[in-house]
Amino acid sequence: MSNKLINLSGINKSFDGTMVLDDLNLYIRENEFLTLLGPSGCGKTTTLRIIGGFETPDSGQVFFNGEDITNVPPNKRQLNTVFQKYALFTHMNIAENIAFGLKIKNKSKSYIDDKIKYALKLVNLDGYEKRMPHQLSGGQQQRIAIARAIVNEPKVLLLDEPLGALDLKLRQDMQYELIRLKNELGITFIYVTHDQEEALTMSDTIVVMNQGYIQQIGTPEMIYNEPENAFVADFIGESNIIDATMIKDELVSFLGCKWACVDKGFGNNKPVDVVIRPEDIVLKESGKGTLDGEVTHVIFKGVHYEMEVMAGGYEWLVHSTSMFPVGTKVSISVDPFNIQIMNKPESEDEEATRIEE
């Protein structure tokens, strides 16, 4: 990844006395697909709107290519935004919708015609020039909204939950479309979603947010496999999060058993949180693993079985391609590499911040 294209420095924003962003620091690199991920009200859309110029921070600065653009209006920024509500002009046909921004810039007719053809081809809707928005499906309307943004040749495309209104199959198709577009166009995508699967599928970098703070920043693999705190572990996929004591390096105790792990540097006899993903648990015959228990619940999920196992006074969530009927006595085993140790937060508000590279 190349240089930092956008830099948010010390951003604070409140609405009606409620803090929405608290000293937010974040940079976005050129050609990066960066996703702001978090629950409703975590500040992700506000962050996007500040980047786009639709909101002004109470304090802090927004830099674009090293230049302070904090007070530059949206139409003067090299950015284009695609919202969840596509906002196509209903009285204009598709070609007119796509050409709208170019006409404002007084581009020539031949330039505009070329751009419309190019954009429609890019979003796989060649020949749709004369159609009206109401004649298109939700997915097609969404692609036209993206085409309309692309023809302006922005350096950055801001996408605010753009697939939120689509059904699951269409969303998945559009996810692949967006990845393809990003690779073909070589522009920076900043994407807002509360859908973890969407973030994991599409992003180069995920920024997990909660209550106006950045909780963790990293690649999808890092966020999933190495969550920095219980919020991230719980929000990204399903997890077993258990109170534990780090006895010493590479040895942790929880639910009355000692477990080998690979983590070091937490100190001796320190309280920690342990995270174990459901798919990392191996069920064995009773007595063959570390902790014995009983299967209490089974659901078939298509790719795997989802089971609940009561063991050590804790209800474990287990995903496995092997099915163990309810009532089966089993034993839980976990590879040391799959036991993730995390520090317990010292306060409610303790947040993880991005370490400058």
Mark whether 83 and 139 lie in a shared domain: yes
Using an 8 Å Cβ cutoff, are 312 and 240 in contact? Answer: no
Mark whether 257 and 220 lie in a shared domain: no
Residue 119 falls within a domain, yes or no? yes
* DSSP H/E element including 119: helix 109-122
Looking at residue 355, what is its pLDDT?
A: 35
Residue 354 falls within a domain, yes or no? no
Mark whether 67 and 209 lie in a shared domain: yes
The per-residue pLDDT for range 252-282, each reduced to its tens digit, is 999 999 999 999 999 999 999 999 999 999 9
User: Residue 268 carries which DSSP code?
Assistant: S
Query: Which string of DSSP letters, residue by residue, matches 303-328?
Result: SSEEEEEEETTEEEEEEESS---TT-
Which one is predicted more confidently, 281 or 160? 281
Mark whether 102 and 174 lie in a shared domain: yes
Residue 230 falls within a domain, yes or no? no
State if pTM tops 0.95.
no
User: Residue 76 carries which DSSP code?
Assistant: G
Q: Mean pLDDT throughout 77-85?
A: 76
Looking at residue 14, what is its pLDDT?
A: 94
Which one is predicted more confidently, 173 or 316? 316
Of 165, 170, 153, 186, residue with least CA distance to 80: 153
| CATH code of the domain in which 322 resides | 2.40.50.140
Mark whether 35 and 108 lie in a shared domain: yes
How many CB atoms within 10 Å of residue 209? 28
Mark whether 71 and 148 lie in a shared domain: yes
Using an 8 Å Cβ cutoff, are 339 and 332 in contact? Answer: no
Among 199, 225, 251, residue at a domain's last position: 225
Q: Please measure the distance between the N-terminal and C-terminal CA atoms of the chain and give it in whole angstroms.
A: 12
Residue 355 falls within a domain, yes or no? no
Residue 290 falls within a domain, yes or no? yes
Mark whether 73 and 188 lie in a shared domain: yes
Collect all residues with Cβ–Cβ distance below 8 Å to 226 and sequence separation of at least 6: 218, 340
Looking at residue 152, what is its pLDDT?
A: 82
Collect all residues with Cβ–Cβ distance below 8 Å to 168 and sequence separation of at least 6: none
Residue 95 falls within a domain, yes or no? yes
Q: Which two structure tokens, joined as six digits, stand for 356?
A: 């400058």
Using an 8 Å Cβ cutoff, are 18 and 166 in contact? Answer: no
Mark whether 124 and 248 lie in a shared domain: no
The per-residue pLDDT for range 136-153, each reduced to its tens digit, is 888 888 888 888 888 888
Residue 352 falls within a domain, yes or no? no
Q: Mean pLDDT throughout 31-49?
A: 92
Mark whether 44 and 103 lie in a shared domain: yes
Mark whether 141 and 273 lie in a shared domain: no
Report how far residue 68's alpha carbon sits from residue 145's, in angstroms, rounded to the nearest whole number: 28
**Positive or negative: CA dihedral 36, 38, 40, 41:** negative
Residue 232 falls within a domain, yes or no? no
| CATH code of the domain in which 122 resides | 3.40.50.300
Which one is predicted more confidently, 186 or 306? 306
Based on the structure, what is the number of domains in the chain?
A: 2
Beta bridge partners of 217: 207
Of 228, 179, 99, 16, residue with least CA distance to 218: 228
Confidence band, pLDDT 50/70/90 cuts, at residue 353? very low
Among 196, 225, 254, residue at a domain's last position: 225
Q: Mean pLDDT throughout 86-107?
A: 86
Mark whether 257 and 203 lie in a shared domain: no
Q: Which domain holds residue 324?
A: 238-343
Looking at residue 33, what is its pLDDT?
A: 94
Confidence band, pLDDT 50/70/90 cuts, at residue 85? low
- What length is written for the chain? 357
Confidence band, pLDDT 50/70/90 cuts, at residue 168? confident
Mark whether 99 and 183 lie in a shared domain: yes
